[in-house]
Amino acid sequence: MDIGKVSELKEFIESCKSNPSLLHTPSLQFFKSYLLSLGARIPPQPKTEPVVDDDDIIESDIEFDNTDDVVQPDNDPPHKMGDPSAQVTDDQRDAAQLSKSKAIDAISQGNFDQALDLLTQAILLNPHSSILYATRASVFIKLKKPNAAIRDSDTALKINPDSAKGYKIRGLSRAMLGLWTEALTDLHVASKIDYDEEIAMALKKVEPNAHKIEEHRKKYERLRKQKEQKRAQPKKQPQNQAQDKDALSALKDGQVIGVHSVGELETKLSAASKTSRLLVLYFTATWCGPCRYIFPLYTSLAEKYQRVVFLKVDIDEAVDVAARWNVSSVPTFFFVKNGKEVDSVVGADKNTLERKIAQHSGPL
């Protein structure tokens, strides 16, 4: 087995030892089932309720249904895309159609890599065909590469905004990433354009999870308002001195600090600047599968790089913070030094995350 993978496995096992509740994560159901088949005893999942009096609101995991098909995001280099400004001749269209027909035959025989090559040839010959991109996206779905499928679906929809296949494949891809709300939106649009049984089956899996996320957001909106009301109460100590003192004492070495408002974030940014520390700003959401995948590593990095300030922001709780930083997807990490953004990472890329922390923080 690859040494790097063994190292990651050891790190994962250590995370499970320190926090056994990780084994109840829906995406790890296969691993939990395997342990149980060996006679292992899994500690029961602790029941936590959100509280509003503590410094951090405790996150309550959403128990999603139908998560067996959820995969980790693919980060392969993008496949070749056609030139949208190219002039296409009739001969090129005919050649593209021939390549597509061969690709369909390859798909029926399970030769997905060959089908990708043929569809890429067709796309380069006729980059104005929405169906070619949507068909290649469907092959990426079969290969469990949802990000690649989303890229092709986006292109298909730019060419033809009424492409039912484009919406359907993008919806299936987003469901594969655990993006239930976005998947539901795409599948609803696809069903209005051209309803089929595959869309109906997908909706049965996606709708319950999307509804759970909506209920979760409503709950945290209520908690956020309670927190704001509590913060609005007047303080008796001198404001400026208290802020400086709290800011300096708020940098908890070796810990991940939750941030719930723009004011809290500004305090942490100011304190990090005063002490010349790198600050990592991590945007997450409790319904995000890749976020749950990366968080144990993020916690261990906080313990390793104790002179770095590690913050965590739930986009559903601190909507104003997410809006100010223009967060469009989670997980997203921003690296800030002296009050200025110096780098960022989008997605659950463990190696890139640690490499950039080491790069910007200096010696341990």
From first CA to last CA, the distance across the chain in angstroms is: 30
Which candidate in 288, 308, 318, 348 is catalytic?
288
Strand, coil or helix: what is 333? Answer: strand
Which candidate in 169, 179, 199, 291 is catalytic?
291
Give catalytic status of residue 291 as yes or no.
yes
Q: Compute the CA torsion angle 333, 296, 317, 274 (nearest 10 deg).
A: -50
Q: Which residues contact 106 (CB under 8 A, 6 or more apart)?
A: 112, 114, 115, 118
Decide if 112 contacts 43 (C-beta within 8 A).
Answer: no
Helix 180-194 crosses helix 197-231 at what angle (to 10 degrees)? 140
Q: Please give the C-alpha separations between residue 15 and each of 9, 21, 130, 296, in angstroms, as whole numbers.
A: 10, 10, 45, 6
Q: How far apart are CA 98 and CA 103, in angstroms?
A: 9
Q: How far apart are CA 101 and CA 33, in angstroms?
A: 42
Helix 289-304 crosses helix 3-18 at what angle (to 10 degrees)? 90
Q: How far apart are CA 47 and CA 41, in angstroms?
A: 18
Q: Which residues contact 143 (CB under 8 A, 6 or more apart)?
A: 112, 116
Single out the residue of 70, 74, 54 nearest to residue 62, CA to CA: 70
Q: How far apart are CA 153 and CA 173, in angstroms?
A: 9
Active site residues: 288, 291
